[in-house]
Amino acid sequence: MVMSTTMVSLLWVKIYDPNIGMLNTLLEAVHLGSWAQAWLGDTKTALLSVLIVTTWHYVGYNMLILFAGIQGISEQYYEAAKLDGAVGWKAVRYITLPLLSDVLRICVVLNVIYALKTFESVYVMTNGGPLHSTTMIALKMFQEAFLKQNFGYGSALAVFMVLECLIIAWVLNKVLTREKIEY
């Protein structure tokens, strides 16, 4: 998370390189050479490859949020659950996950919004290719406004992207919010 998205993307471009990349070399080393391919040059694997990079890059941020949420759970809940026989996975299912529901909702909403506005990794790794299979709305907005000098259409795409993020965040909050129980 502390590395810039551009640097991470450039690193993964080298890992995905079909000729000298570590991924294909590793696959050949474990006798799975038939799986080796041009990961960013194939329409079937390009979007998934970019998705893996962005997921890898931001997993630490989510871990930090979840860690803070877990630190906020009082030990008393686990002691009471232990007396009732809930240990291990039962404690996770009935204590940790319900108490982390708000934190998990925040993680989901932030990740969906980030996915909708992804630009840097797509621009650096594929520039929307091959055959526009990785073109995201943020990249399309950049291309229209700054490369084609079509500022009106680029601005409209920007407004659409903001509205899309707001609506999806609102829907996710409604769907993922549980009714609070008063004690």
Q: Does the pLDDT of residue 44 top 80, yes or no?
A: yes
Question: CB–CB of 138/119 below 8 Å?
Answer: yes
Q: Does the pLDDT of residue 183 top 80, yes or no?
A: no
Q: How does pLDDT run across 51-109, given as a tens digit for each residue? A: 999 999 999 999 999 999 999 999 999 999 999 988 899 999 999 999 999 999 999 99
What tokens were used for 69? 């949420």
How much is the pTM?
Answer: 0.84
Ranges of H-type helices in the chain: 5-16, 22-29, 46-71, 75-83, 89-91, 97-99, 101-116, 120-125, 137-142, 151-176
pLDDT at position 21: 95
Backbone angles phi, psi at 12, to 5 degrees: -70, -25
pLDDT band at 164; cut points 50, 70, 90: very high
Q: How does pLDDT run across 127-140, given as a tens digit for each residue? A: 999 999 999 999 99
pLDDT at position 180: 65
Task: Tell me how far apart the alpha carbons of residues 139 and 153 are, in angstroms, rounded to a whole number.
Answer: 13
